[in-house]
Amino acid sequence: MADPQKRLETMLAKLKEKEMRITPQRFAVLKILSESSEHPSVERIYEQVRGDFPTTSLATIYKTIILLKGIGEVLEIGFGDGSSRYDGNKPYPHPHLICTRCRTIIDPDLDSLHDMTAEVSEETGFRITSHRLDFFGLCSECQKNR
Amino acid sequence: MADPQKRLETMLAKLKEKEMRITPQRFAVLKILSESSEHPSVERIYEQVRGDFPTTSLATIYKTIILLKGIGEVLEIGFGDGSSRYDGNKPYPHPHLICTRCRTIIDPDLDSLHDMTAEVSEETGFRITSHRLDFFGLCSECQKNR
DNA sequence: TTCCAAACAAATAATGATTATCAATAAATA
DNA sequence: TATTTATTGATAATCATTATTTGTTTGGAA
């Protein structure tokens, strides 16, 4: 998480540019996304927004997330099971390291990945638009605790 | 798909080893998985099995797939959306190249990936047990047809 | 071979995350 | 301020998957 304030402003600017309204509920979601490094779930965002706006509906969170996905300002990280988590700080594809026990997600550095896309593209003739690279395992903490 | 016959035998042997029954329905599912290079969906497998056993239930296909996942003989490939496809030929993690238009899945060669796991593991202290690498885009065919 | 217990199949109900619907509300525009 | 449009909140619908229930099949003991 580089600079939450700046990230928030970027997202706000993007919404304005697209002539979308910045409602209090949307603002709350954006704020949470910009400040979170934990890759929150919809449910988690929902709970936090309800802290400020107790009448907020879960549907509104979903709609806001879909909106943000649509304009490329949030990245969805789908687990193997149905559930998803969201990254509002790095909305472009990047590798994740997921602890299958405590569900922590961290973003490892991995430069070597960059060339792969070109390699695959050339090999197959695909025009590659996106990718997904996730590693699953146990974080060092969870390795200790049994 | 190296040798469907051999692959089928391997899966059968694994079931036997685990003292699980090889029922006609299960056999049909194994056969389809071993012969398919198309990475079929549950629904697709279901349709095919119904060709031979018209009374087969969708639940049976799901249960068989879950069983095979459990003993590591089939790999689930989850799309971004809810749907999944299955690979009974290479049941270990390997990269995929997915056409978002026609939903074709191919398995590119990509040796460079192998070292990544070690790199990430060392960098983060994770004990990595699995991974997932998927590229999304348009296959050459779909690039032509608009 | 017959019987029994365990594994399995089929049919269907339940689940649960996500999506759609729609009346009420809020914001933008004139 | 009146009008138009987007958005919200509440709730219903969807749909893939999972659980449940009941009846059937299987393999082994007697």
Structure confidence by residue, pLDDT tens digits, B91-135: 999 999 999 888 899 999 887 787 888 899 999 999 999 999 999
Is residue B1's pLDDT more than 60?
A: no
Name, in order, each residue with C-beta under 8 angstroms of A111's C-beta and a sequence gap of 6 or more.
none
State how far the Cα of A8 lies from the Cα of A88, in Å rounded to an integer: 9
> How many whole angstroms from its chain centre is CA A64?
13
Is B63 within 7 A of strand C by CB distance? Answer: yes
Is residue B68 a contact partner of residue B74, using CB atoms and an 8 Å limit? yes
> How many whole angstroms from its chain centre is CA B34?
10
Q: Which pLDDT score is estimated for B31?
A: 96
Q: Which pLDDT score is estimated for A1?
A: 58
State how far the Cα of B54 lies from the Cα of B100, in Å rounded to an integer: 32
Within 10 angstroms of residue A102's Cβ, the number of other Cβ atoms is 12
Name, in order, each residue with C-beta under 8 angstroms of A110's C-beta and a sequence gap of 6 or more.
A95, A133, B116, B119, B120
Architecture label for domain A1-87: Orthogonal Bundle (1.10)
Is residue B146's pLDDT more than 70?
A: no
Strand order in the sheet with A127-138: A105-106, A96-99, A127-138, B127-138, B96-99, B105-106
Per-residue pLDDT of chain A (146 residues), as tens digits, is: 579 999 999 999 999 999 899 999 999 999 999 999 999 999 999 999 999 999 999 999 999 999 999 999 999 998 776 778 999 999 999 999 999 888 899 999 887 787 888 899 999 999 999 999 999 999 999 999 86
Is residue A96 a contact partner of residue A134, using CB atoms and an 8 Å limit? yes
SS3 state at B19:
coil
**Burial class (CB within 10 angstroms; exposed 0-12, middle 13-18, buried 19+) of A145:** exposed
Architecture label for domain A93-146: 2-Layer Sandwich (3.30)
* Buried/exposed code over B91-124 (b: 16+ C-beta within 10 A; e: otherwise): bebbbbbbbeeeeebbbbebeebeebbeebbeeb
> A131–B131: do the CB atoms touch at under 8 Å?
no
Within 10 angstroms of residue A108's Cβ, the number of other Cβ atoms is 18
> What is the distance in angstroms measured between the alpha-carbon CA of A32 and the sugar C1' of C26?
23
Check if A6 contacts B (Cβ < 8 Å). Answer: no
Name which of B15-19, B66-70, B88-92 the model is least confident about.
B15-19
- Residue A121 tokens read as 């593209």
Q: Which pLDDT score is estimated for B79?
A: 76
Is residue B101 a contact partner of residue B137, using CB atoms and an 8 Å limit? no
Instruction: Give the residue range(s) of CATH 1.10.10.10 domains in chain A.
Output: 1-87
Could you read off the pLDDT of B52-76 as tens digits, one per residue? 999 999 999 999 999 999 999 999 9
Closest CA to B15 of B27, B3, B5: B27
CA distance A54 to chain B (A): 30
> A112–B119: do the CB atoms touch at under 8 Å?
yes
* Chain B residues near residue A133 by CB distance under 8 angstroms: 131-133
> What is the distance in angstroms measured between the alpha-carbon CA of B63 and the sugar C1' of C15?
17
Is residue B77 a contact partner of residue B39, using CB atoms and an 8 Å limit? yes
Check if A42 contacts B (Cβ < 8 Å). Answer: no
Could you say which of 3.30.2350.10, 2.60.120.920, 3.40.1160.10, 1.10.10.10 is the CATH number of the domain covering B4-144? 1.10.10.10
Could you read off the pLDDT of B25-57 as tens digits, one per residue? 999 999 999 999 999 999 999 999 999 999 999
Instruction: Give the residue range(s) of CATH 3.30.1490.190 domains in chain A.
Output: 93-146
Strands (E), chain B: 75-78, 84-87, 96-99, 105-106, 127-138
